[in-house]
Structure 1
């Protein structure tokens, strides 16, 4: 039941039954995801690209490129913990979003320079910018719907569509310009839309009515503690363990790329020496001691629920360690091992399909933009003008792309194009999964995890089968695109089973006063998964030279399926630990 007047939520007009402010956030997040996924789709392909071609890359070793990507992806999931804290305690959510967007704009601009120094500066700016931006957009939505919980699920669904729309357009357009025209165009385009997104958000301030301002501080005395529960303040030992874990982890994280790329290891023996292994194991032990010691100090009911969250977080590591091959080894498979040159009728069919899947989503998003204009043009005129300009540029690039492609008889599918399939399949299948979760056949949390992990493994199984004809040690091949398309399909189905439900169960299981700590644990699990993904992905050349490409993908087939079966076997235990939470 609502705790406030609906007029207070909708007084600035509605779009699709939700306040216009939600759609300002929708488009701001869309441009941020446009820039993030557009850049990420290009990074590895650019770094490993040949240096003696018309649009030269840097000719890096695959392991080096994936080492850098892994550290970047890991830090992207850790800095939001700090950025959320700063916003909550010091500057407020809206200011944090603006600062984050500005830092990311500068980061993309730096990468467009295409020199090693500016590449590293750019990645650093993107990491810190993301830390300010990522957690605070969702915090603004949470505040906006604070008194209207019954409308919150619909709001997050709309917001999630903005995420996927941005990823879809960013990968398609940044990837196309980067691969077909010039890498700096792709990196630069990501920065342009991040900047326009920041301006659109900044000048929309009047319709937020103070939402996202710095909140008032809350003391422990003001927290509502359920009967039979108790606070669990951090002890001196807890803080020492946190410090040890953070310091040792950061040393290991940066030692990896510095050892491989710059040959400037922080630790003796490089990235995989005895010292490096000892450091990360010590960090892991410190974290486990911290987690176990804190869990034992909670009341039995809370302890059980938090143990359930920790188990789900553990399996989350395995999911992302495989799923995030999309940005690394699967991008390499698309670039070097997939037949992408099309001619004749096949080329024309691809161009028509590509046109349809580009124009229809863009037309729908443009209609949403028009609906927002009608409601808010007089209230946030400058914001809407900037947003309108953004779409004029987008349509211009799309028309340029289509004219350029249809003027040629054949085509070469960009290696980055396959990455759009994830967003496309999410948009196609998310409504079906949503209905499944709302039906009487809704599986338990453990079963959803098991199904998701198993589908992920099946997706890699298609790559195993498709790679069977590639000889041992081969650095290039030309297998059918169908295997990569099927892999992305099953990976997306697995993601829909696991990814959206994880945070939902966390919010249901963990008491409000502990949510920040457990969100930190959750993002840490995703961060570790991302780093492991590209650490393992970096072994592709070693495994291919000694065994085969099929063997490499077989690892990512067996591990997720085995993990999925294990979490299904734990279903009775997890049900007991969750104490009736579904």
Structure 2
């Protein structure tokens, strides 16, 4: 086992060391330098997140809850995992607002990264010196949750500011950025997974913290030269955009005098946002966040409460977006926000099933896949591997289709994403029902599932991020991006609940593979195939209306 896992890790690192320079070199003249700085920062941040994610469910089942029966341990671990991942994507709603109004994108990203790093190192210490201390375990996860809330939405929003609304390079840029996400994920899964399962769980968690430190250093040291003045203050983006628009109009209509007036208005606005009040509010936001972290930790063990909160918040946020849409000054802006609301729902359906990868599918891999000595956590790397291979092809494909007028609309890409997700689960169901031997399924079916799921993800996820920056009002893009991550938050909690359906009855530690396989296959058939295909069909029928509401934004 050691040799196989070790060489997978070595090959992955060699592959990334060769592949990343090729991607950067081939795109260096097409995209601004900021893309590549954010690419590296996000890559290392995702190394930290996915390094921990690869181990979390297995760690809870095998270590924290090993005194419980298999069914009870699975249910408890998947419940906590669902609450954790849901809260990871819940707090970007707040993090987006705070960045918009108080911290600015750059400070928010750095603050979030520091919190995440502290959480990973605390998680390592929990096992090394305070084994089984659930309060420290939950507190460590809370640091990661809150830190991600500041980091994740704002780095995506920040990238969008380096491209125009109808810039044909934008989808390609977000696809390359998304590849950075998955390079970090691939390296994390094979590295932290190997170290965690084969050497020590807590060394694996510690490596995740080191990855976050690397991401912070990239952003801090390389950012100033690449970003210029963007993101320093919360209002800077709005000022820059407004002044650029005014200058364009002024040059065409009124000459240099109007340009001078615009610059004076910029100076007055900028002075307001660089006053001592801003510094005070920034410190209050930081202190308030630190106080809230222990409170957040207590919710990780309250699965039902988190579910209710997420449902209420999701309905509330959709209502806020709807009210915001009614206040827009023209019909096109209003209807574009309606598109976001509709896709919010289908986005949640996609991720509720896709995110089984870190929960029930990992346990399924552990118990029902013929692994030939490969650790169960390592198989998660196939998703990232396929994205690294396919992302440049998708980026090129979207640009070529766009140039010929044949690129699918964003809603149609969502339909394709849901369809391929269902196909992936269909492959697993077929393998489980017709090709299993004594409850064990060939890894070929699992790898094929990851391939189709990755294809679906590339159709939906990166273009979803790009869509938010195109359809959102300029002054609320951070909030709407945070709301978009709320749909993933709701999805992750749903994923935990669906995952708990695979726990079955509590049969102790002796459940035979044939018994667990039946539970997994039936759950994936109902939720992964039937429900997802139904959602894809409904959305397909809505595509013409949604395209009309987008008013030319592609």
> Matched residues in 1 for 2:413 and 2:27: separation?
33
> Matched residues in 2 for 1:183 and 1:255: separation?
23
One of 89, 97, 113 as aligned partner of 1:85:
97
The corresponding residue for 1:180 is 198
> Matched residues in 1 for 2:69 and 2:229: separation?
47
> Matched residues in 2 for 1:152 and 1:277: separation?
35
Matched, 1:454 2:454: no
Matched, 1:133 2:151: yes
> Matched residues in 1 for 2:308 and 2:90: separation?
22
Per-residue Cα deviation, 1:231-262 (whole angstroms, up to 9, x for no partner) = xxxxxxxxxxxxxxxxxxx9xx98985356xx
The corresponding residue for 1:506 is 468
Matched, 1:69 2:81: yes
SS of equivalent residue, structure 2 residue 204: helix
Cα 1:254–1:579 shift into 2, 3 Å:
same
1:144, distance to aligned residue in structure 2 (A)? 5.3
One of 525, 533, 541 as aligned partner of 1:554:
525
> Greater RCO between the two (CA within 8 Å, min separation 6)?
2
> Matched residues in 2 for 1:182 and 1:546: separation?
29
> Matched residues in 1 for 2:113 and 2:541: separation?
44
SS of equivalent residue, structure 1 residue 519: helix
> Matched residues in 2 for 1:255 and 1:470: separation?
44
Cα 1:539–1:455 shift into 2, 3 Å:
same
The corresponding residue for 1:100 is 112
SS of equivalent residue, structure 1 residue 49: helix
SS of equivalent residue, structure 1 residue 521: helix
The corresponding residue for 2:481 is 519
> Matched residues in 1 for 2:45 and 2:308: separation?
38
Matched, 1:444 2:409: yes
> Matched residues in 2 for 1:578 and 1:484: separation?
37
The corresponding residue for 1:325 is 356
Per-residue Cα deviation, 1:330-353 (whole angstroms, up to 9, x for no partner) = 11111111111x3xxxxxxxxxxx
Cα 1:291–1:173 shift into 2, 3 Å:
same
> Matched residues in 2 for 1:442 and 1:147: separation?
17
SS of equivalent residue, structure 1 residue 570: helix
SS of equivalent residue, structure 1 residue 468: helix
1:67, distance to aligned residue in structure 2 (A)? 1.4
The corresponding residue for 1:212 is 231
> Matched residues in 2 for 1:30 and 1:285: separation?
32
1:49, distance to aligned residue in structure 2 (A)? 1.6
Matched, 1:428 2:389: yes
SS of equivalent residue, structure 2 residue 504: helix
Per-residue Cα deviation, 1:36-68 (whole angstroms, up to 9, x for no partner) = 111101100111126899xx9997711211111
Contact (CA 8 Å) 1:48, 1:58: kept in 2 or not?
no
SS of equivalent residue, structure 2 residue 441: coil
After superposition, residues 166-205 of structure 1 pair within 5 angstroms as: 166-204=184-222
After superposition, residues 392-431 of structure 1 pair within 5 angstroms as: 412-431=373-392
> Matched residues in 2 for 1:90 and 1:278: separation?
29
Cα 1:206–1:300 shift into 2, 3 Å:
closer
The corresponding residue for 2:553 is 581
1:497, distance to aligned residue in structure 2 (A)? 1.4
Which deviates further from its counterpart, 514-523 or 290-299? 290-299
Matched, 1:39 2:52: yes
> Matched residues in 1 for 2:115 and 2:122: separation?
11
Per-residue Cα deviation, 1:484-536 (whole angstroms, up to 9, x for no partner) = 11110110111111112223333333332443443233222121111111111
Output the TM-score relative to the length of structure 2: 0.72
SS of equivalent residue, structure 1 residue 213: coil
Cα 1:91–1:527 shift into 2, 3 Å:
same
Which deviates further from its counterpart, 496-505 or 165-174? 496-505
Contact (CA 8 Å) 1:49, 1:58: kept in 2 or not?
no
After superposition, residues 111-122 of structure 1 pair within 5 angstroms as: 111-113=123-125, 114=127, 115=132, 116-122=134-140
Contact (CA 8 Å) 2:94, 2:482: kept in 1 or not?
no
Contact (CA 8 Å) 1:51, 1:57: kept in 2 or not?
no
> Matched residues in 1 for 2:112 and 2:310: separation?
30
The corresponding residue for 2:430 is 465
1:93, distance to aligned residue in structure 2 (A)? 2.9
Contact (CA 8 Å) 1:325, 1:537: kept in 2 or not?
yes
Cα 1:435–1:200 shift into 2, 3 Å:
closer
Contact (CA 8 Å) 2:178, 2:462: kept in 1 or not?
no
> Matched residues in 2 for 1:168 and 1:141: separation?
22
Give 5+ residue unaligned stretches, structure 1: 1-12, 226-249, 261-270, 343-411
Give 5+ residue unaligned stretches, structure 2: 1-24, 247-292, 506-514
1:578, distance to aligned residue in structure 2 (A)? 2.6
Which deviates further from its counterpart, 123-132 or 137-146? 137-146
Contact (CA 8 Å) 2:53, 2:358: kept in 1 or not?
yes
Cα 1:64–1:308 shift into 2, 3 Å:
same
Per-residue Cα deviation, 1:252-273 (whole angstroms, up to 9, x for no partner) = x98985356xxxxxxxxxx39x
Cα 1:304–1:140 shift into 2, 3 Å:
closer
Which deviates further from its counterpart, 278-287 or 153-162? 278-287
Cα 1:467–1:147 shift into 2, 3 Å:
closer
Cα 1:58–1:99 shift into 2, 3 Å:
farther
Contact (CA 8 Å) 2:112, 2:149: kept in 1 or not?
yes
Cα 1:256–1:90 shift into 2, 3 Å:
closer
Contact (CA 8 Å) 1:78, 1:523: kept in 2 or not?
yes
Which deviates further from its counterpart, 17-26 or 73-82? 17-26
Tell me which protein shows more helix as a share of its residues. Answer: 2
Contact (CA 8 Å) 2:85, 2:492: kept in 1 or not?
yes
The corresponding residue for 1:401 is none
